[in-house]
Amino acid sequence: MRILSDMTSRAISSGRPVAAPRGGVVFFCVVALSCLTGCLSDTEFRQQADEVAYDIIKRKQPDAIGRTEPFTIATAEDTLRNRLMQLQGLQTSHTTSLGSDRLEPIKHWPDDDYLATSKTDEPPVKPWEGPEPLKLTLLEALQVAARNSREYQSEKERVFRTALSLDLERDAFRTSLAGMLGSTLSFSSSGTGDTTGITTTPDLEASRRFEDGLTVAGGIAVDLAQLLNRSGSSSLGILADVTVTLPLLAGSGRHIVAEPLTQAERDMVYALWQFERFKRSFVVGIASDYLSVVQQEDRVRNAENNYRSLIDSFQRTRARAEEGRVTEIDVDRSKQEVLNARNNWINAREARQRQLDSFKITLGLPTDARIELDYDELARLATTAREALGDPSVDTSEKEYRVEEERIVILEPTNDDAGPLELPESVLIELAFERRLDLREDQEQVFDAQRRVVVTADALRPGLTLTATGAAGEGRGLSSAASSDGRLRPEDGTYTIGLDFDAPWDKEPERNAYRNALIDLERSVRTLQGSEDQIKLDIRNALRTLRQARESYKIQTQSVRVAERRVESAKLFLDLGRAEITDLLDAEEDLINAQNDLTTALVDYRIAELELQRDAGVLIVNERGLWREYRNANNEQPEPDRG
């Protein structure tokens, strides 16, 4: 605009009359109109991308996972992490620790609304206010992890990015519009006189590629040439053209042209499958970590009870030593056991805190936050196990061995008291083959590899392209500014049609790509075979682990009962002088070991149940991180393997 003003001033100073610059007016009017009607703000572009991606995910979910559920990559504004940081006064190194909405926009920041509106107003998992420790149940921990875990958020963003990639591939087959505006101010001096003028050229182009390979492109350009002299002559020109291309041999057909779009559509389904698989493994991992912390708390309690019991035993031993009934050696040994018990108690407490801090990181919470878990979860697990497996405290010696003619016969474990998930191996493998999404992805990728073979083989063919063009109209420049306006006359246009042939020579890169595609196909087949074998191994190992944990739980329950009776008997006989202090100390040690082993067996059985459902692909996890177990699906209780 400044150039136009300077040049016009020079023309005026020369004493020549100047006509109104129609070209400049048209140019800037068109620019202003385009900005008002076709340009989006940064915020609108972001919102548009969100709408497109979320719509793709919503439409793909029923085909991929058989249901539609809410999906968003926006984090909650009122997260549990933020509440803990603020209400418990936890340390932070930077404002970013409280979320991106606390950032100050930097210079040239493009999206004024993003930092304020990128969060959701979803309420927290549970109402909680105040600096006191927060107590989380197992189900609440699952929901907290789904909202606060950084790993979980990254997986959701990967699905979102895949949706944007699919939209980009779809855009290749949409009608594409492009507009160009150009305005040129010219000044020339020649023997016939000076010439000053402005030429404005708005162009509009449109193109469309179809999935069969047909491409149609066309455009229209308008020229406005105007002289900035005494005459002020001006003239309009108009040009239109269209080009049509259609491959007939190599590169023809939907299976070749639309292959990138086909793969992108399938990649979107794969991304949803992978996210679903991730959720199942994620919640099993959260449950395993949660129960491990609870188990360690039980070890702390057992160590504390053992510490108290040994203190009591030491006091009794010292009293009997004063009566001359035991030696000082027995007193010192009892004292040594008390010291060992205190050391074990302290070690158990520190191990519990280390596990709890690590679990906080898994949940996406600060490690210095004051959080407590629901340690009654073990009691509920024990109740559930008794309901599913029967009373394990009942003596089952007759099922473990028998004596035949002075020969001891050891009996193998039976499945008479098997849990509800101990289904026949063949049934579980069949379930896994039907529902394991990673196996389904491997199956579909074999088809992907087959299509790549077809595409690379097509590139070996000769190229034959049909091309048709047409152009009509008259352009205008400063040299023709005094002419009459141009007209668009199709009858006076120029039209061509031709064939372009590309001989199949020098195809070494295409040849190698084709051979590599065949190798990739064989590799995908081997991957599928390996996945099947691995799934069978996963199921067999999960069943073994579940049966082993069940037998261990029964054995350790009875072992605790026996150890408790030993301690009681040792105390009684010690008071009667019919036992040594070593008998009591050994009984106390065996009791705490049996108690810890019982808790381990109980937790192992529960984790084995979840891992078996994960490996069989029957554990359903919703967007909130909550699971639905197979034995509760459709309100049916599967029959365990009784064979």
pLDDT at res. 97: 81
What type of residue sits at position 524?
Answer: S
Q: Which of 485 and 54 is assigned the larger pLDDT?
A: 54
Minimum mean pLDDT among 16-20, 180-184, 503-507: which range? 16-20
State the Cα–Cα distance between residues 513 and 459, nearest whole angstrom: 9
**DSSP string for residues in 304-353:** HHHHHHHHHHHHHHHHHHHTTSS-HHHHHHHHHHHHHHHHHHHHHHHHHH
Sorted by sequence, the CB contacts under 8 Å of residue 260 that are 6+ apart come out as 169, 172
What is the arithmetic mean of pLDDT over 110-138? 76
- pLDDT at residue number 546: 93
Residues 6 or more apart in contact with residue 53 via CB below 8 angstroms = 160, 163, 164, 167
Looking from the CA of 323 toward its CB, the CA atoms found within 13 Å total 10
The confidence score (pLDDT) of residue 545 equals 93
Whether residue 56 has pLDDT greater than 90: yes
Residue 262: the pLDDT is 94
**What is the predicted pLDDT for the residue at 1?**
34
More confident residue, 77 or 348: 348
Report residue 5's pLDDT band, with 50, 70 and 90 as the boundaries.
very low
CA distances from 69 to 59, 64, 271, 429, 541 (A): 11, 12, 15, 28, 33
The closest of 375, 417, 378, 380 to 396, measured between CA atoms, is 417
Q: Which of 185, 204, 195, 247 has the alpha carbon at shortest distance from 23?
A: 185
One-letter amino acid at 520 equals D
Which residues have a Cβ under 8 Å from the Cβ of 192 and sit 6 or more positions away? none
- The pTM assigned to this predicted structure is 0.84
Give residue-wise pLDDT tens across range 327-383: 888 888 889 989 999 999 999 999 999 999 999 999 999 999 999 999 999 999 988
Rounded Cα distance between 81 and 144, Å, is 9
Per cent of the chain over pLDDT 70 is: 84
Quote the pLDDT of residue 599: 92
Say whether 403 sits in a helix, a strand or coil: strand
Report the pLDDT value the prediction gives residue 119, as an integer from 0 to 100: 67
Cβ proximity of 138 and 377 under 8 Å = yes
Strand-pair partners of 223: 237
The DSSP letter of residue 404 is E
HSE-up of residue 514 (Cα within 13 Å, Cβ side) = 13
User: Checking DSSP bridges between strand 234-247 and strand 215-227, what pairing results, if any?
Assistant: antiparallel
Residue spans per domain, the chain? 2-39+174-209+214-250+462-503, 49-173+256-375, 391-461+509-643
**CATH number of 49-173+256-375, picked from 1.10.3720.10, 3.30.70.1280, 1.10.150.120, 1.20.1600.10:** 1.20.1600.10
- Top pLDDT among 183 and 207 is at 207
Q: What is the pLDDT, as a whole number, of residue 34?
A: 54
| pLDDT band at residue 6 under the 50/70/90 scheme | very low
Cα(554)–Cα(391) distance, integer angstroms: 8
- Given a contact cutoff of 8 angstroms between Cβ atoms, the answer to whether 174 and 180 are in contact is no
**Half-sphere exposure of residue 211, counting CA atoms within 13 Å on the CB side?**
10
H or E stretch at 177: strand 176-190
pLDDT digits (tens, 9 = 90+) for 598-638: 999 999 999 999 999 999 999 999 988 899 998 644 444 44
Instruction: Give yes or no for a contact between 222 and 202, defined as CB atoms under 8 angstroms apart.
Output: yes
Share of the chain above pLDDT 90, in %: 49
Higher pLDDT, 61 or 23: 61
**Residue 197's closest CA among 170, 166, 229, 219?**
229
Start-to-end CA span in the chain (Å): 91
pLDDT category of residue 19 using cuts at 50, 70 and 90? very low
Give dist(CA 310, CA 318) in Å, integer.
Answer: 12
Residue identified by tokens 């050696």 is 329
Q: Which residues pair with 497 in a beta bridge?
A: 468
CB within 8 Å of 409: residues ≥ 6 apart: 401, 402, 403
The DSSP H or E segment spanning 473 is strand 463-474
DSSP 539-578: HHHHHHHHHHHHHHHHHHHHHHHHHHHHHHHHHHHHHTTS
Average confidence (pLDDT) over 534-562:
92
CATH homologous superfamily of 391-461+509-643 equals: Outer membrane efflux proteins (OEP) (1.20.1600.10)
DSSP character for 76? B
| Average pLDDT over all residues of the chain | 84
- Residue 14, C-beta contacts closer than 8 angstroms, at least 6 positions apart: none
* Residue owning tokens 């152009």: 471
Q: Kindly state the tokens that stand for 240.
A: 């239109």
- Asked if the model's pLDDT at residue 639 lies above 70, the reply is no
What are φ and ψ of residue 589, in 5° steps?
-65, -45
Q: How confident is the model at residue 4 (pLDDT cuts 50, 70, 90)?
A: very low
Can you give the pLDDT at residue 635?
40
Give the pairing type, strands 463-474 and 627-628.
unpaired
More confident residue, 183 or 535: 535
- Higher-confidence position of 444 and 115: 444
pLDDT of residue 482: 65
Q: Would the CATH topology of 49-173+256-375 be identical to that of 391-461+509-643?
A: yes
For CA atoms 430, 432, 436, 442, the dihedral sign is negative
Task: Give residue 121's pLDDT band: very low, low, confident or very high (50, 70, 90).
Answer: low
d(CA 56, CA 167): 8
Work out the pLDDT band at 82, boundaries 50, 70, 90.
Answer: confident
Of 541, 473, 543, 458, the residue nearest 507 (C-alpha): 458
**Residue 204 tokens, joined:** 């509009």
